[in-house]
Amino acid sequence: MKHSRYFFLLCIPITLLCGQKTFIHAGKMVDGKNDIPIEMVTIILDGKTIQTVNRGYLVPGKKDTLIDLKDFTILPGLMDMHTHLSGQSSPKRYMEKFYMDLDEYAYRSIPYAKKTLMAGFTTVRELGGIISNSIRDAINEGHVVGPRIFSAGKSIATTGGHADPSSGLNMRFMGDPGPKDGVINGTRDAKKAVRQRYKNGADLIKITATGGVLSIAKNSKNPQFTEDEIRAIVETANDYDMHVAAHAHGAEGMKRAIRAGVRSIEHGTLMDAEVMTLMKQYGTYYVPTISAGMFVAEKAKEDGYYPPIIVPKALEIGPRILKTFSIAHKFGIKIAFGTDSGVSYHGDNANEFVYMVEGGMLPMDALKSATMVSAELLGIQDKLGSIETNKIADIIAVEGNPIDDIRFMQKVIFVMKEGKVYRSPN
């Protein structure tokens, strides 16, 4: 018995060190689950997978790779639940549809995807874009450097609604787009639009349940779907194992979307107590996108940056998102991290952390919103969202301790996705 006991004790480190592994020595670790950072940690990776998480600095074998992050804080790869990699805010944005081809959108998205990854965001939910599926596939196949993408493809709208691609055009060019183009009227159209998104390879569905700030239309608050239409979308999406994200600013549109079963409300600017109560009742996630609100409110003050019809909407809606976030957080709604990057600049995603803390959220809770909470929204919490044994090795590092100062999240110095290093301080 004595010999077998000693053999077992000796066998543990030998087993760990016998194959070629990657060791990460971290000064501090925010693991995505615990409320307090853990100091002096060794993470041992086996290819793309976290094999063990250990206290103290274990000595690697001769064949192993050591990544020394003792001077930094490591965290799980971050997740942004609302991005638009197809483009980026610009005064020229509204003219692009007249002269840009799909391949131009695709090539332009490549640096945006890389910026997002280098900012520490290893997973994003891409909520509407004409090349979202193709940039996802290019990243998965190794042709492009970027985050893991869950793509909604083209958003679904109603005629004249936010995300109707013909809104604001000359009457000669408006036409009458239908479900294939993501424009629906009635439950039959709604089901067909979802099935078209599935056929096109989407991972989820995004609808525009109310008007929007940046669409060429006067109203950003009005509901734009009937509840039956949204329910038809949700039920059809469920058949294909897809969830539904709902862009919404006005309260009535949110209520319809929540009752119909959407998984998340995006922006949620004018939500009231009834909306928040419904969200808790239905378990609906809230994705605030404060960054986008602050960005459009500031840019609306610049002459000519937005078309005149947009300016009053941006000045009214933009600043209110932070206030709404503060109220929703106190109310206890499930909040997942999302920026609406593309409306704001790609690579600046971590600004959202600063706004969230400014709005009253504790730094650790803000970090969890971009890790475990977002993983739960996507239903991938068994694979990502925390630094744990047998999870995928998405790991980042920042200077300093973000629990003491959340602005350290804007200083990512190390990025690993699926065990591969994309950014390093060395």
Average pLDDT over residues 374-386: 98
Same domain flag for 361 and 405: no
Q: Do 105 and 28 share a structural domain? A: no
Q: Which amino acid belongs to residue 419? A: G
Q: What is the DSSP string of 47-58?
A: TTEEEEEEES-P
Residue 3 has pLDDT above 50, yes or no: no
Same domain as 301, residue 258: yes
Question: Is residue 61 domain-shared with residue 122, that is, in the same domain?
Answer: no
Tell me the CATH number at 226.
3.20.20.140
CA atoms within 13 A on the CB side of 353: 28
Summarised one tens digit per residue, pLDDT across range 79-94 is 999 999 999 988 887 7
Q: How far apart are CA 123 and CA 121, in angstroms?
A: 6
Instruction: Please state whether 254 falls in left (phi above 0), alpha (psi between -120 and 50) or beta.
Output: alpha
Give the CA-trace dihedral at 169, 173, 176, 181, to 10 degrees.
Answer: -80
Does residue 361 register a pLDDT over 60? yes
Instruction: Give me the pLDDT at residue 6, please.
Output: 29
What are 395-420's pLDDT values in tens digits?
A: 999 999 999 999 999 999 999 999 99
Place of tokens 């869950």: 150
- Tell me the percentage of the chain whose pLDDT exceeds 90: 81
Give residue 171's pLDDT band: very low, low, confident or very high (50, 70, 90): low
Which domain, by its residues, includes 417? 2-76+387-423
CA distance 398 to 385: 17
Asked if 96 and 71 sit in the same domain, the reply is no
Same domain? 108 vs 166: yes
Paired tokens of 113 = 């995807």
- Please say if the pLDDT value at position 169 is more than 70: no
CATH code (residue 404): 2.30.40.10
Query: Which amino acid type is present at position 152?
Result: A
Is there a contact between 73 and 398 (Cβ–Cβ < 8 Å)? yes
Tens digits of per-residue pLDDT, 195-210? 999 999 999 999 999 9
Question: Do 224 and 147 fall into the same domain?
Answer: yes
Asked if the model's pLDDT at residue 16 lies above 50, the reply is no
| pLDDT at residue number 11 | 34
Q: What pTM, to 2 d.p., does this model score?
A: 0.92
Mean pLDDT of all residues in 59-73: 96
Question: 53, 92 in Cβ contact below 8 A?
Answer: no
Indicate whether 15 pLDDT > 50. Answer: no
Structure confidence at residue 221 (pLDDT): 87
Question: What integer pLDDT is reported at residue 251 of this predicted model?
Answer: 97
Q: Provide mean pLDDT across the span 309-318.
A: 91
Tell me, yes or no, whether 237 and 272 share the same domain. yes
Total number of domains constituting the chain: 2
**Pair 31, 152 in one domain:** no
Tell me: do 326 and 184 sit in the same domain.
yes
Asked if residue 117 and residue 37 are part of one domain, the reply reads: no
Work out the pLDDT band at 260, boundaries 50, 70, 90: very high
Residue 199 and residue 156: Cα distance in Å, rounded?
A: 14
Structure confidence by residue, pLDDT tens digits, 131-150: 999 999 999 999 999 999 99
The whole-number average pLDDT for the span 227-254 is: 98
pLDDT for position 101: 85
Q: Using the 8-state DSSP alphabet, how is residue 306 labeled?
A: S
What mean pLDDT do residues 106-133 have?
96
Q: Which of 238, 180, 229 is nearest to 204 (CA)?
A: 238
Residues 353 and 229 in one domain: yes
